[in-house]
Structure formats: structure tokens, C-alpha cells
A and B are shown apart, each in its own frame.
Chain A
């Protein structure tokens, strides 16, 4: 069982390499953002190298990127400044999605992409959902994604994942180093059950490119 500190250390170690390989925003996320109504505040929880921040900046007045890894945030700043995004348009914060450092009902939009599956315990996952609910305004949404067991990466080892309570370490190879990254893998039933423990309504749930994308609505 990994802990959050190990996830942080891992991303600190692989930040520049990760940033090079995950340079492009995901089309499902861009499509969602581009079809959103203009608003005041948005946050990307688990922003990594900030690949979705320029898209959020087109729609929202203030955009915040939060990540557990300082090294990833430095990558994000370097990349966003290189893309000539004005400093006024984004803020970067080091934080933990189970302890979101914002007041209640600040955000018009939250995106939480490929982050939630790094939380190692059910307790942490419930805490993160409750925190997202707290900082979101009423009648607004979270766009949420996690890796699905249906992803082609898991061809041949689904049985092993199921037997190991859906906990799985993915190896990240870079410059001859092999580093393990912890994931909690979801199938649709388990994801719905997990999300059902929060106060959110599931507005839509889709499987696309091996990821589940969920729109979570705060009533």
C-alpha cells in the first residue's frame, strides 16, 4: 500500500520527464471546458504540468492549479510562461486534495483529471469528494476522470488487479530508472459505488480512451 507522500516523491522525481510525455491536454477535457459557460473561478485539482490551465483561462477569470508536487508546479509555471500565458491568468498552489485550502463555495468549475486514482484509501477518496463538494458553488460541476480497468494497458492483468483489491503499481521507466506509481483502478460498478458515497449527483459517466469521465453535479 502506497501513501500520499510516496506519490508526491514519485512525481517530484519524474516531473520533467512526465511533463515532456504528458505535454498535450486531453481532448475530452478540452471539449468539456470549451462548452462551459463563462464564469469567475476554476480550479484544476492535480494540475500536474498545467496542460489544461490555458483552456480554463479562456472561460474563467481566475484559474488555480493545485498539485501535491512542487516540482510539477515548477514545470507548470515554466511551461505556462513559455506559452506566454500572463501571470494574472493563473495561480499555482501546493496542496492536498483531501485538505483543499479554500473557503466554501468558491468555484464555478472544478476539474480533477487522472488524480483521484492515486489516493490509496477509501477514507482519503471520501474526504477528497467531500472537499470538492464543499468548495464548489451550488448547481455547478466537477469534471472528474480516473483510469478504468478497461484500459488497454491492463490487457492480460485484469485478474491480478481484481485479486489485489484494485490496487496496482504502474512502472514508470525513465533514464534507466524504474519507478513504481500507485493506482487504485476502477471498474464502473466500483466507481459508481464510490461516487455514491458523496453528496454529488452523477450527471454523466462515460468510458473514453480507457478513462472514465464523470460529470459530478452539486445540487
Chain B
């Protein structure tokens, strides 16, 4: 995902603004990292450039 996409994204649960943490980037693209919701304290991983914004309890 591109860094600027963060401005449009919101936490899937509480719709708060997300914080972006970058582990690996290429040009303007975030390859690895995470999106963090300061309100719910949930982390949403970005792997291989694709953010996973499924609700955290989706697996259960």
C-alpha cells in the first residue's frame, strides 16, 4: 500500500484513525509494517504490500 492511503483508512472496529509503522518500504510503497489503532490497541499487519484489515476476531 502507498503511505498516503493511511489518510483514508480507519479501524474496522471503532473507525478511529490508524497509525502507520513501516518495517520495509520501496519508493512510496509500504511493503511490510503494521497499522495500529490507538483506541482499540489492535494491530493490523501489512504483509507483502497488502494490509490485512479484517476484524481481529475474524479467525474465531
Contacts and interface: CB of A to CB of B under 8 A. Distances in A.
B51 A94 contact: yes
Contacts, number: 57
A15 interface: no
Interface in B20-60: 29, 44, 48-55, 58-59
A95 B8 CA distance: 14
Nearest to A101: B53
Interface size class of chain B, counting residues whose CB lies under 8 Å from the partner chain: 20 to 34
A142 B9 CA distance: 19
19 contacts: A4-B58, A5-B59, A74-B50, A91-B2, A91-B5, A92-B49, A93-B1, A93-B50, A94-B50, A94-B51, A94-B52, A95-B54, A96-B12, A99-B12, A100-B12, A102-B9, A103-B9, A103-B10, A104-B15
Given A5-B59, A101-B9, 4 more contacts: A77-B49, A88-B2, A94-B50, A100-B12
Contacts of B12: 95-96, 99-101
Interface of A: 4-5, 41, 64, 68, 70, 73-74, 77, 87-88, 91-96, 99-104, 106
Which of B11, B12, B44 counts the most chain A CB atoms within 10 A? B12
Contacts of A93: 1, 50-51, 53
Contacts of B2: 88, 91
A54 to B, nearest CB: 18
Contacts of A99: 12-13, 54-55
A146 B47 CA distance: 31
The A contact surface, by secondary structure, is mixed
Which of B10, B17, B48 counts the most chain A CB atoms within 10 A? B10
A102 B51 CA distance: 13
A87 B52 CA distance: 18
A132 to B, nearest CB: 14
B8 A87 contact: no
Which of A5, A70, A74, A91 counts the most chain B CB atoms within 10 A? A91
A41 B52 contact: no
B55 A96 contact: yes
Contacts of A88: 2
Given A91-B2, A104-B15, A73 B9 contact: no
